[in-house]
Amino acid sequence: MGRAKLPRKSTTIDMTAMCDVAFLLLSFFILTTKFKPSEAIAVTTPSSVASKVAPNKDFVLITIDKDGKVFLTIDDKQKRELVANSLNTTKNLGIDVAKFKSANFVGASFSGLNSFLSISEENRKGNLLPGIPCKDTTNNEMIVWMQAVNEAYAGSKMDLLLKGDNLAKYPSFKGVLIAFKKNNIQKFQMVTNPENAPVGSELYKRGMSGEKQEN
Amino acid sequence: MAELDTSGGGHKKGPGVKKGKKLSTRVDLTPMVDLGFLLITFFIFTTTMSQPTAMKLLLPDDKVRPEDQNKAKESGALTILMGADNHIYYYEGQLKSDASNFLSASYNGENSIRDVIMKKKAYVRSIAQDPNDPEHDLVVVIKPSQYCNYKNVIDILDEMSINVVKKFALVDIFDIEEQLVKKSDESATPSSK
């Protein structure tokens, strides 16, 4: 039987173009990626419509974890030294300044600060630490911390950030607010995840009509 | 494309010169593409595209004498109270002694706090005396109870920017209100957020 022979076509495709695209994308992602530093304190931040990007230098960060424990992070190492020195003089704590300088965050009461600093960096995990006491109005150590921070940053730019966990209870937030108010700090920023304005809301309408958002 | 030109630089060889065997230089690029895409997926998943944003908040100065503080008009005041388990309550004007204007709302969905704020806004606009600044009298007072969490506070502060409320204040809750919130929390069925 004579059957019409179909011409056999090659099934190999030239992969070069695809390879080009793949590696172009790969180099893009390698260059844009920024590895998240493993965080000692696990915090899931709430989302807000605020569109301003949080500053990433010259900041003083106060973290509230899900149990309401408060931690303090000072970005600048020079300022850390100033804070440690001023606390040593005012509260007579005898902090090891060099250790304090290398500590990424503080999360203990004044009485437990030296034992906190003796823990190695990798073992300092937020869930195991006591945090800075601030819930109690009579023993709000955040007030002293903020005072020292204020002094250290006198005359220079400081961005005060507050990063709270979704589940943190209000009293610890309030304790931090009291510490701010006591030190005449009226301006601070809260770290959130970006979110779009809900469709149909007033902000959404303003955004659509091209008005600039204020915050 | 993936082959190299092996024809020897273009100049012709003499007639007696033996030609070397032409090897195919075609490389199978499929594994390379596989590897490429594998790495791409890895970097896509690990990359953090969205940077955290920051929400600004200005605190009132406590040291201002009471007579200097701006008083809120009763008609334009809306107080929002936050309780445990994502419960939310509000009252307009002043809290009546029998707590009859103490109402409950939710964060989203039906009877949401956004609707309450919008309604209040519309009401304030309708009774405004100054046509240039119709929302002058609108003041939202936010009173978080000790049972609510940080997310609730941020949500409400966010609601202020969503609804473009210019004047709002984060105020300490009164004892009587806190008790009312607690009582309502206990009687209400847990609402889901």
**DSSP characters over chain A:** ---PPPPPPP-----HHHHHHHHHHHHHHHHH--PPPPPSS-----EES--SBPP-SSEEEEEE-TT--EEEEES-HHHHHHHHHHHHHHH-----HHHHHH-S-B-S-STTHHHHHHS-GGG--GGGS-----SSSTT-HHHHHHHHHHHHTTTS--EEEEEE-TT-BHHHHHHHHHHHHHTT--EEEEEEEE-PPPTTSHHHHHHHTTPPP--
Comparing A40-49, A122-131, A204-213, B121-130, the range with the smallest average pLDDT is A204-213
CA distance B44 to B39: 9
pLDDT at B189: 57
Task: Give B145→chain A minimum CA distance, Å.
Answer: 7
Residue B71 scores a pLDDT above 70: no
Q: What ipTM is given for this predicted complex?
A: 0.73
Residue to test with chain A: of B112, B149, B157, most A Cβ within 10 A:
B149
Asked whether residue A38 is domain-assigned, the answer is: no
Q: What is the DSSP letter of B147?
A: T
Nearest to B54 among A50, A195, A197 (CB): A50
**Has residue B48 got a pLDDT over 80?**
no
Restricting to A residues 88-117, those with a Cβ less than 8 Å away from any Cβ of B are: none
Name the least confident of A1-10, A102-111, B148-157. Answer: A1-10
Q: Please report whether residue A95 resides in a domain.
A: yes
Strand A187-194 to A159-164 pairing: parallel
Q: Report the number of distinct structural domains present in chain A.
A: 1
Exposed, middle or buried by CB within 10 Å (0-12, 13-18, 19+), for A41? buried
A22 assigned to some structural domain: no
pLDDT above 80 (res B97): no
Whether residue A77 has pLDDT greater than 60 = yes
- Say what the pLDDT of residue B72 is: 65
Residues of chain A found within 8 Å of residue B56, distances taken between Cβ atoms = 50, 52, 187-190, 215
Calculate mean pLDDT across residues B130-147: 79
pLDDT, residue A137, reads: 72
Determine, yes or no, domain membership for A135. Answer: yes
Q: Poorest-confidence range of B4-13, B52-61, B67-76, B162-171?
A: B4-13
Inside any domain, residue A67:
yes
Mean pLDDT of A90-102: 77
Report, as an integer, the average pLDDT of A154-160: 81
Q: Please give the residue of chain A at the shortest CA–CA distance from B26.
A: A14
- The size of the A-B interface in CB pairs under 8 A is 182
Residues 6 or more apart whose Cβ sits within 8 Å of residue B183 = none
pLDDT at residue number A148: 83
The chain-wide mean pLDDT, for chain B, equals 77
Residue B116 CA to residue A214 CA, distance in Å, equals 23
Give residue B191's pLDDT band: very low, low, confident or very high (50, 70, 90).
Answer: very low
Most confident of the following: A186-195, B64-73, B93-102, B122-131: A186-195
Which residues of chain A lie closer than 8 angstroms to B150, CB-CB? 46, 64, 164-170, 173
Of B105, B101, B82, B83, whose CA–CA distance to B91 is shortest?
B101
Banded model confidence at residue B6, pLDDT cuts 50, 70, 90: low
**B4 pLDDT higher than 60:** no
pTM of the model as a whole:
0.72
Say whether residue A78 is in contact with chain B using an 8 A CB cutoff: no
| Segments forming the whole domain that contains residue A170 | 47-194
Which of A14, A166, A206 is nearest residue B151 as measured by Cβ atoms?
A166
pLDDT tens-digit readout, A36-59: 666 667 788 888 888 788 777 788
**Residue A160 contacts by C-beta under 8 Å, 6 or more apart in sequence?**
A59, A60, A62, A180, A185, A187, A188, A189
Please report whether residue A89 resides in a domain: yes
Q: Using 50, 70 and 90 to split pLDDT, how confident is the model at A143?
A: confident
Closest-approach residue (CA) in chain B for A186: B59
Residue A105 lies in a domain: yes
- Dihedral of alpha carbons A49, A55, A59, A61, sign: positive
pLDDT over 80 at B140, yes or no: yes
Report which of residues B89 and B190 the model is more confident about. Answer: B89
User: Which pLDDT value is given to residue B193?
Assistant: 40
Backbone angles phi, psi at B10, to 5 degrees: 100, -35
Residue A31 lies in a domain: no
* pLDDT higher than 50, residue B81: yes
Lowest-pLDDT choice from A139-153, A187-201, B7-21: B7-21
Q: What percent of chain A has pLDDT over 90?
A: 0
